[in-house]
Amino acid sequence: MPDYKRGVMRVAFQVMGVTAGRKDSNCEILLKEALLACREQGAEVRMINLKDYELLDCNGCTACTMGMSMGKNTGCSLADKDDKQKIMDVMLEQDAVIFSAPTYDLMPSSLFLKFMHRNLAYESAFLTKIGAIAPRDRVGALIAVGGSTRSWQSMVLEGLQATMFTTDMKVVDMLLATRVPAPAQCLLDDELMARARKLGENIMTAVNTPAEERKWLGEEDMGWCPNCHSNALVLGEKQWDGLHYPVECQVCGAGGTLEQTEDGKWKFVIQEDGLLKDRTTVAGRAKHLEEIAQTQGGFFSDPAKIQLVQQRKQKYVEKKFKGID
């Protein structure tokens, strides 16, 4: 559907749904409800289930990061061996992507993580920094589904969030579906279905907003972190370049302190330079490329270190232990 906003005709916004859930069950149903809201507002919508594709695990070859640290776009070494590249060719052309995944052992399912952990080869901050691609603004939203309350899904949204950085997905909304263990049980919860629809509406609000003005559209008081709305904080440790924050957001890396409010509650306050390495921004993640260039590049450019590692490694190459028949 053409968009005549501001007197300019343009093609419809492209919105994609990606799920790792069971067929015709909670993850798919909640995702479809959100996508229906997008389509009703004129978006061109598509959806895939990762269970329908062949996807290999990242083999840790580090060819992509080594290449980028040297200013080269080498791509993924597995690109022609499974369906990952085919999916990414479409996904990276979207204006928005909504992801849904089930919760297994507090975290997103292994299928979802296997797919997303391969995104390092497409790291937009790194590729932008070396001039391989032009910046592209994308909007994202997340749906996690489990049979318990948050107490047994305590890391799932944060796990989903952590996979959004590499492809520059600005997450504007997140939904945690609780206590829906049975297939399609979400259909008995009218409020949950309405919330999924609202998530889709928020996606459309975001894509219709200039990129520099986009903001969080989910529940206002969600999470500890005012930057990414994650619910996970950790004690800070000295980083590779000496930077140290007393407390850090486990997801976006924002740094600051905990302060007690007048009503006795605690809040996370981001300090003045606390977003220096904000993982949700291209500039923040570019700092990580500097770290990789120093640590990984420093190793591979030192023949003496490489030789010493090879000598010491032989002991472990030769050592064999009994396995399972």
Per residue in 283-304, pLDDT (tens digit) is 898 888 888 888 877 787 889 9
- Once rounded to an integer, what is the mean pLDDT over residues 125-129? 81
Helical packing angle, 190-207 and 26-40, nearest 10°: 50
Encode pLDDT of 47-61 as tens digits: 999 999 999 999 999
Helices (H), 208-262: none
Q: What is the pLDDT of residue 298?
A: 77
Encode pLDDT of 179-214 as tens digits: 999 999 999 999 999 999 999 999 999 999 999 999
Angle at 57 between CA 292 and CA 71, to 5 degrees: 30
- Once rounded to an integer, what is the mean pLDDT over residues 27-43? 98
Q: Give the residue from 267, 230, 241, 272 showing the smallest Cα distance to 255.
A: 272
Its pTM stands at 0.91
Q: Which residues pair with 3 in a beta bridge?
A: 10
Contact assessment for residue 249 and residue 228, using Cβ atoms and an 8 Å cutoff: yes
Sign of CA dihedral 286, 292, 293, 295: positive
Encode pLDDT of 239-267 as tens digits: 999 999 999 999 999 999 999 999 999 99
Give the residue extent of every domain in the chain: 9-222
Q: Give the residue from 187, 84, 98 showing the smallest Cα distance to 142.
A: 98
* CA–CA distance, 291 with 98 (Å, rounded to integer): 31
Residue 273 has pLDDT above 60, yes or no: yes
Q: What is the pLDDT of residue 7?
A: 45
Q: What is the pLDDT of residue 172?
A: 98
Residue 1 has pLDDT above 70, yes or no: no
- Once rounded to an integer, what is the mean pLDDT over residues 119-134? 85
Counting beta carbons within 10 angstroms of the beta carbon of residue 237, is it exposed (0 to 12), middle (13 to 18) or buried (19 or more)? exposed
The Cβ of residue 275 has, within 10 Å, a number of other Cβ atoms equal to 20
Residue 2 has pLDDT above 80, yes or no: no
* CA–CA distance, 292 with 32 (Å, rounded to integer): 39
Q: What is the pLDDT of residue 10?
A: 55
Bigger pLDDT: 206 vs 10: 206
Average pLDDT over the chain reads 92
* DSSP state string for 150-173: GGGSTTHHHHHHTTSGGGTEEEEE
Residue 8 has pLDDT above 90, yes or no: no
Residue 63 has pLDDT above 70, yes or no: yes
* CA–CA distance, 185 with 324 (Å, rounded to integer): 40
The owner of tokens 């996508």 is: 35
Encode pLDDT of 157-178 as tens digits: 999 999 999 898 999 999 999 9
Bigger pLDDT: 293 vs 8: 293
The Cβ of residue 267 has, within 10 Å, a number of other Cβ atoms equal to 12
- Once rounded to an integer, what is the mean pLDDT over residues 87-91? 94
Specify the range with the lowest mean pLDDT, choosing from 91-100, 101-110, 286-295, 300-309: 286-295
9-222: CATH number:
3.40.50.360
Counting beta carbons within 10 angstroms of the beta carbon of residue 138, is it exposed (0 to 12), middle (13 to 18) or buried (19 or more)? buried
Specify the range with the lowest mean pLDDT, choosing from 8-12, 72-76, 223-227, 292-296: 8-12
